[in-house]
Amino acid sequence: MTISSSLNAGVAGLSSNASRLASISDNIANSSTYGYKRVQTDFHSMVISSSGGTYSAGGVRTTNQRLIDERGPLVSTNNPTDLAVRGRGMLPVASLSSVSVDNGDPQMMLATTGSFRTDADGYLTTDSGLVLLGWPALPDGSIPSYPRDTADGLEPVQINVNQFSGEPTTQMSLSVNLPATETESISEGDMQELSVEYFNNLGNSENISVEFTPTVPAAGSSNEWTVVMRDSASGGAVIGEYILTFNDSRTAGGTLASVTTVSGGAYDPATGSMIVNVDGGPIEIDIGNIGESNGITQLSDQFAPVSISKDGSPVGNMTSVEIDANGYVHAFFDTGITRTIYQIPLVDLPNPNGMIALDRQTYLPSPESGTYFLWDAGEGPTGDIVSYAREESATDVAGELTSMIQTQRAYSSNAKVIQTVDEMLQETTNIKR
């Protein structure tokens, strides 16, 4: 019985070391595979109860575990949509074949890195057929509140490289100096005109004509101007008329003293602005606060538009796409504007090593991995997303070669045990002769 158990233990040793060699071979073969997680083979002894002073060899068995929580070093690339996760968390992806058939929501898989580029349909995919998943943004660039314990809100990230985009003007700021000499009784009272461009809802260029007419008194200085605003999209119709009165004191000379609304949106002294309605909708115009020199002023003898700023943009073509550290997908246009179109979450699980390993360095959550949660990158326990980067294999070739030498010696030793048992059984047979 003891000799037989020795033979069985030797056979178990051969099988276990062969299994370890298989994992080592897999690790070395994938030493250049981006995002590969190495497999670790552990040995566990088997103890069989013995009696009567004899010992029975139980042998050994192995368990194999893929160390998904181990991360390889990051390397830089030239592609803005090459992504890697720095820290905890994984990228949600799906198989391109499941997205193409459009048979309901594709199954979410997880990966730690990927080289994504747009395919013929605009999907961000890898050469191996993985599609990046994300939450789509609203037209204004904000991300709605999606459920975080399910993948139902995730959609394949699709980039329309031929997309046009324009933004209407909704607010502008006017910083203009009016000549104080024009409100004196000896002046001619010449009107000063300023044309300010804005963009309508279709991205077309329109103008608001701002006319400044001084009030010329019979004597002294009035320090008063009448402002009339006209909209070119409305055929030059008046959209607002205001009377501006300026200070002439030693401490606040040249600043606004009061604004009287004749027509149009009322002036708000708290914000220093009024809202006027052009043909396409309301625009907030900031002319400055009472008593401050941050908007329209009246100084010296020159009319000077100091600064005019506004939002909005004409229609432009998409030029590039980038993903920031928090997972927001930004589309850049040749007009200089940037629009958020998706957000990529990071998926975290209590036990990443309990996931089911699939081809292409992807993994599926399982009961052993625990329930997952979708975090904003950089929040909670998750790290951030690095673009222009990929994660290299977690294999240490030098360590694997060392383990291979040990495995080879252990395999030879177990073979020697079997050879020795065979010789002992031969001796036992010879006793009968």
Contact 113, 390 (CB under 8 A): yes
Residue 162 has pLDDT above 80, yes or no: no
Residue 424 has pLDDT above 70, yes or no: yes
Instruction: Give the integer Cα–Cα distance in Å for 85 and 322.
Output: 15
pLDDT band at 51 (very low <50, low <70, confident <90, very high): low
Question: What average pLDDT does the segment 24-36 reach?
Answer: 97
410 SS3 class: helix
User: DSSP labels for 382-407?
Assistant: --EEEESEEEPP---HHHHHHHHHHH
State residue 150's pLDDT score.
94
What are 318's strand-pairing partners? 333
Instruction: Give the integer Cα–Cα distance in Å for 251 and 255.
Output: 10
What are 196's strand-pairing partners? 208
pLDDT band at 202 (very low <50, low <70, confident <90, very high): confident
List pLDDT tens digits, range 80-136: 999 999 999 999 999 999 898 877 788 999 999 999 999 999 999 999 999 999 999
Q: Among residues 149, 168, 156, 106, which one has the least CA distance to residue 131?
A: 156
Domain range list for the chain? 2-67+394-432, 74-165+316-391, 169-311
State residue 433's pLDDT score.
65
pLDDT band at 197 (very low <50, low <70, confident <90, very high): very high
Residue 220 has pLDDT above 70, yes or no: yes
Contact 140, 389 (CB under 8 A): no
What percent of the chain stands above pLDDT 90? 80
Q: Which CATH number fits domain 169-311: 2.60.98.20, 3.30.1370.30, 3.40.50.1240, 2.60.40.10?
A: 2.60.98.20
Length of the chain: 433
> Quick one: tokens of 187?
């002046």
Phi, psi (deg, nearest 5) at residue 411: -65, -45
pLDDT band at 6 (very low <50, low <70, confident <90, very high): confident
Computed from CA positions of residues 253, 254, 255, 259, in that sequence, does the dihedral angle turn out positive or negative? positive
Contact 272, 171 (CB under 8 A): no
List pLDDT tens digits, range 265-307: 999 999 999 999 999 899 999 999 999 989 999 999 999 999 9
Instruction: Give the integer Cα–Cα distance in Å for 82 and 193.
Output: 52
Amino acid at 237: A
Contact 133, 155 (CB under 8 A): yes
